[in-house]
Amino acid sequence: MSTPNLRGGNRPDPAVPVPDDHGAPPGGWPNPRNGFLFFLGFAGIGAAMANLVPLVLTMSIKATAIDPQNATTVLSVVVSVSALCSLVMFPVFGRLSDRTTGRLGRRRPYLLLGALLILISAVVMLTATTTLTLAISGVLTSVGLSAATVALTAVLPDQFAPDRRGPGSAIVGLSLPVGAVVGLFIAQLVSPNLAAMILLPAGIGAAGCTLFAVTLKDRQLSAAERAPFGWGELLSTFWVNPARHPSFGWAWLSRFLVFLGVAAVQAYQAFYLIRVLHFPPSEVAGAVFVSTLVLTVAALVFAPIASKVSDRIGRRKPFVIASALIFGVGLLLAAFANSFPFFLVAIGIIGLGQGVYFAVDIALVTQVLPDPANPAKDLGIMNLASSLPSSVLPAIAPAILAIGATAAAPENFSALFVLGSIAGLLGAVLILPIRTVR
């Protein structure tokens, strides 16, 4: 069954499962071996490190050096502008990548662009003396990460058959928490040398993207294969109609809700440790590192198992649903933790859920794309579901924190974590209507 598209051709009916070769490149998928996954992981972790170390640590230090009295305002401006650029550049780079016909291929130019922008942003940050220059650094980092991430996610449907995407999905998904842990560890090793704290993560990130670009066997798109482009396609760069592509819409909303819960943990656990578990501010950085390490180790243990089992039995939905449920339960436990060891147990459960989720989420997403032959644009839109929550949550958090607040406890962090738990559980439920993936 098919439905007419804007160009007068036919597209598969989104309510009907498609055959496994849907969107296969000419000659079939190459299904590269383990060396490919190594360089993919190096690039993913490096890019995440180059983005998260500034976001979590060095940008705050630099903002304090620029304007000690208004450092939080400086940081808020930089982060907000950078986040806005990400919202635009994810789908734009995806559209451009799908249509690139140069000799370097469709994905390699964007890996190299990401590497270059990461390096330039680090130099700009190091030399920044004003809010404007620090914001320029943040924008360059954000745009570089967008370019690299679009390429890193698009290579999965480019290179692997649908039943072989589990390990690659796990690697790309886990690159964020692993990049955070490794990057912060490296930054701590060279602290207080700010130049090394800024340049080392950026250098590793650029090296990872460059090495993957060099080793990637990226098929060149011919001009004849490139789809026509008009005003309708231009407008669709930032939009996929959920009525025409319901499976994509459900997957996007599910992902948004799960990452809303992730944002609750990432953005507010330091405040929770200080104000609820009464950690001295001087010790909270070490506690956050320990909790992040626990989460990452739990994710790393279970993600490879889930990815291989998912590939072997040919099912994605049960793993995504189970992982979102586990994640929601972990957040619920964290909401009522009355000691740091109990909090770490909750974080470990959250990590288990995240590990299983990351192992199969991207693999599931690649199987609900509206145009599998040109996946990068739609993957760029899907990436917004994981980046938007970090911008949305700070806007609604004050109202949530005020629920049930008292003079003794003016901020209700338990309510915030419960909200995250509910979001994760709803994210699990919204996987059920997807009919194109088992």
Give per-residue pLDDT as tens, 356-374: 887 787 778 888 888 887 7
Q: Kindly tell me if the per-residue pLDDT of 54 is higher than 60.
A: yes
Q: Specify the CATH number of the domain 32-220.
A: 1.20.1250.20
pLDDT the model gives residue 1: 36
Fold of domain 238-438: Growth Hormone; Chain: A; (1.20.1250)
201: amino acid identity, one letter? P
Band (144; pLDDT cuts 50, 70, 90): very high
2 phi/psi in degrees, rounded to 5: -140, 165
Q: Kindly tell me if the per-residue pLDDT of 11 is higher than 50.
A: no
| 376/56: higher pLDDT | 376
Q: What's the mean pLDDT in 381-404?
A: 80
Q: What are 12's strand-pairing partners?
A: 2
Band (230; pLDDT cuts 50, 70, 90): low
pLDDT the model gives residue 343: 92
3-state secondary structure 312-342: HHCCCHHHHHHHHHHHHHHHHHHHCCCCHHH
Band (270; pLDDT cuts 50, 70, 90): confident
For the entire predicted model, the pTM comes to: 0.76
pLDDT digits (tens, 9 = 90+) for 13-27: 343 344 445 567 777
pLDDT the model gives residue 10: 38
Q: Kindly tell me if the per-residue pLDDT of 426 is higher than 60.
A: yes
Task: Tell me what the pLDDT averaged over the chain comes to.
Answer: 83
pLDDT digits (tens, 9 = 90+) for 234-249: 666 777 888 888 888 8
- For the record, the structure tokens of 56 come out as 């979590």
pLDDT digits (tens, 9 = 90+) for 176-190: 888 988 988 888 888
| 155/410: higher pLDDT | 155
Domain with CATH 1.20.1250.20 in the chain: 32-220, 238-438
3-state secondary structure 106-167: CCHHHHHHHHHHHHHHHHHHHHCCCHHHHHHHHHHHHHHHHHHHHHHHHHHHHHCCHHHCHH
